[in-house]
Structures are given as structure tokens and as C-alpha cells.
Amino acid sequence: ALLDVQVSVLANQNLNYLTTGTPPKRYGNAHPNIVPYQVFKTKDGSFVLAVGNDGQFRKFCTAAGLIELAADTRFLTNTDRLRNRDQLIPLLEVHLEKQTTHHWISAFEPVGVPCAPINRLDQVFAHPQVVHRELQVNLPHPSGTVAPLVGNPIKFSKTKIEYSKSPPLRGEDTEHVLKTVLKFDHAQIQRLNESRIVDTGTHPRRG
């Protein structure tokens, strides 16, 4: 059931509650059990920083030019950082906003600090891997234009994904479905269309 799935995917939030009896606080996109593990703004955008352990935190501090934080007793371990989240995060926010997203990604990735840019959709569809994976397809449309669509994310090693047609015009397939599936004849379809029970694309748009 959808409810079952909804409860189960609460992941660490539901277990935090079940083990402590305390409803979790709201941290926006921040991880409730790991700090720093959230979105940060930069000079020209935003990126996700996912410092998963104490070793990564030390690497992060060095790469970010915040080496003093790695030795700060308030932030030595993840337990310390959880306890002092409200002190650490503002320090990082001010510092990380001084440079561009590309600057920080280039600094953190080589030393093994998990991070990723948050892309606008124009950046997503221009990304070389997205282009290579054919996640945008352009199909001829009955209107005479080209319909840009999102490609099928499921790829097979031996069978190429094919796209038979673009999204139909309003009522474009109504008559075909009624004839082939329900075996209605032309007169029946015409009566249904004239009474507006179905629309074969001849009715004017409403609204």
C-alpha cells in the first residue's frame, strides 16, 4: 500500500523516533544524524555537501581552508558536530558562499569529500552524461512541430529503446480506440461525439 511505503521510506527519521520516543526536529534538507550533510549556497548557486565521517570532516576542513575547525573541540566527532550543529553550520554557510560552486567541487572531489552541484534544468539537459544517455528525445508531433520528451531511463544492453509516437493531440486516438478495442461502428462513435460523451478532437476547447 502507498501508506506502507510512505512510512517505510522515512528511513532514519522513523527510527530516530522509535528509538528515542522524541519526534525529530525539522532541518530542511539537512541529514538528522550526520553534520555537515546538507545543501549550501555558493557565490553562484548551491551544492550538496555530504561529510559522512570524521576523516572526511578533516579533509573537508583542509580543502575548504578551515583547518582550525578540524581541531575545534566542538566539532571533533560527528557526535560533537550534532550537538553543536547550530554553531557549525552558520560558520560554514558564511565561508562557502564566498566562492563558486565549481571552486568547491574542484576542491573537495579530489580529496574524497562527497559533494555535487545542484543544477538548473538547462544545466541538467546540457550535461554530457545526460546527453550520452539520451535522456532527451525529440519526436515529430501531429501539429507539425517537434515534441521534446524525457527519454526512458531504462536501458537494455541488447535492445534499443524505441519511441513509436509523440503525445497525441486532444482526441486524436479516441476513434481508433473505440473502433479497435470496443468495436464501435462509425455511427455509434458519431453519436457519442455529438452528445459530447467522447471527444474525437472536433469539440472546441473550453476555458
Closest CA to 66 of 46, 47, 50, 90: 90
| Span(s) in the chain for CATH 3.30.1540.10 | 34-118
Q: Is 90 exceeded by the pLDDT of residue 86?
A: yes
Among the four given CATH numbers 3.30.1540.10, 3.40.50.1100, 3.40.50.2000, 3.40.50.720, the one describing domain 34-118: 3.30.1540.10
Tell me the percentage of the chain whose pLDDT exceeds 70: 99
Model confidence at 206, pLDDT cuts 50, 70, 90, reads low
Mean predicted confidence (pLDDT) in 63-87: 98
pLDDT of amino acid 171: 92
Q: Is 80 exceeded by the pLDDT of residue 205?
A: no
- Where are any strands of DSSP class E within 11-159? 37-41, 46-50, 115-117, 136-140, 146-150
pLDDT of amino acid 207: 58
Mean predicted confidence (pLDDT) in 37-66: 98
Between helix 54-64 and helix 101-108 the angle, nearest 10°, is 130
Closest CA to 37 of 47, 21, 49: 49
Mean predicted confidence (pLDDT) in 9-37: 94
